[in-house]
Amino acid sequence: MRIGVITFPGSLDDRDAQRAVRIAGATPVALWHGDHDLQDVDAVILPGGFAYGDYLRAGAIASFAPIMSEVVDAAGRGVPVLGICNGFQMLAEARLVPGAHTRNAHQQFIRRDQKMRVENAGTSWTTAFETGDEIVIPMKNADGRFVADAETLARIEGEGQVVFRYLDVNPNGSLNDIAGVSNLAGNVVGLMPHPEHATEPGFGPDTPAAMSSGTDGLKFFESVIGAFVTA
């Protein structure tokens, strides 16, 4: 399986996402924001960082990048798309997932190993989980506060589009403790925490078993690979 990772000017975690794809057993394909070509990849990842300096709004200018028209088309065809942190902001700005992001409620950049609950194990990126699983994934952002109007919130809660919810601490003031959402079809998922940073023992969050041993992020990639292999 070939999974594309799009690099934008200001992307930071594109290499980490490629590495996570490789660790999970698929082939990473480097894609470029300025191209109109997804190189026939089977899934797409929009990585974290500060694309285009996050000027205007986080992810806003990136959502108008040339390759985004291909991403929108692919998402419409059911190709799995994962937006991580800045990539989640791009998905929201491109209206591929509901809601939007504002500055964290406490006005500070935050970095922590974040506990979340998997609220929907039926999306393209969560089938390796069970609904209700509690996982720990690193997060780091300044504009991570998920917001949507009351009607949208009620709709996405009802449709199972809330995929991840923060546990213990709401790190940024996100409404309903929402950490990640999907589109209605479930092939497009965005979340603020970084699963690619929890895929290799020794480089992940601490667990009760050992320091830096958390690999809960691996299942995101295994989910999409598993669905491809059995398809």
Q: Is 92 in the site for other proteins (CB under 8 A)?
A: yes
Smallest distance, other proteins to C-beta of residue 98, A: 8
90 or 218: CB nearest other proteins:
90
Rounded CA separation 40/4 (Å):
9
173 binds other proteins per the rule CB under 8 A: yes
Out of 30, 105, 154, 229, the only residue in the binding site for other proteins (CB under 8 A) is 105
- Closer residue to other proteins (CB): 56 or 184: 56
Helices (H), 58-145: 67-77, 86-93
Among 149, 168, 210, 211, binds other proteins (CB under 8 A): 149
Amino acid at 44: V
Residue 147 in contact with other proteins, rule: CB under 8 A: yes
Site size for other proteins, by CB under 8 A? 20
Q: Which of 85, 93, 101, 222 is catalytic?
A: 85
Phi, psi (deg, nearest 5) at residue 193: -65, 165
197 is catalytic: no
The span from the CA of 168 to the CA of 162, in Å, is 17
Residue 196 falls in the annotated catalytic set: yes
Q: Which of 21, 11, 3 is nearest to 85 (CA)?
A: 11
Minimum Å distance from CB 174 to other proteins? Answer: 11
Please, is 100 exposed, middle or buried when counting C-beta atoms within 10 Å of its C-beta (0-12, 13-18, 19+)?
buried
Q: Which residues pair with 30 in a beta bridge?
A: 5
d(CA 142, CA 53): 13
Figure out which of the listed residues 102, 176, 212, 213 binds other proteins, where binding follows CB under 8 A: 102
Q: What is the H or E stretch that residue 27 is in?
A: strand 27-32
Active site residue 70: no
Residues near other proteins (CB under 8 A) are 56-57, 60, 64, 92-93, 99-100, 102-107, 145, 147-149, 152, 173
Q: Known catalytic residues?
A: 85, 194, 196
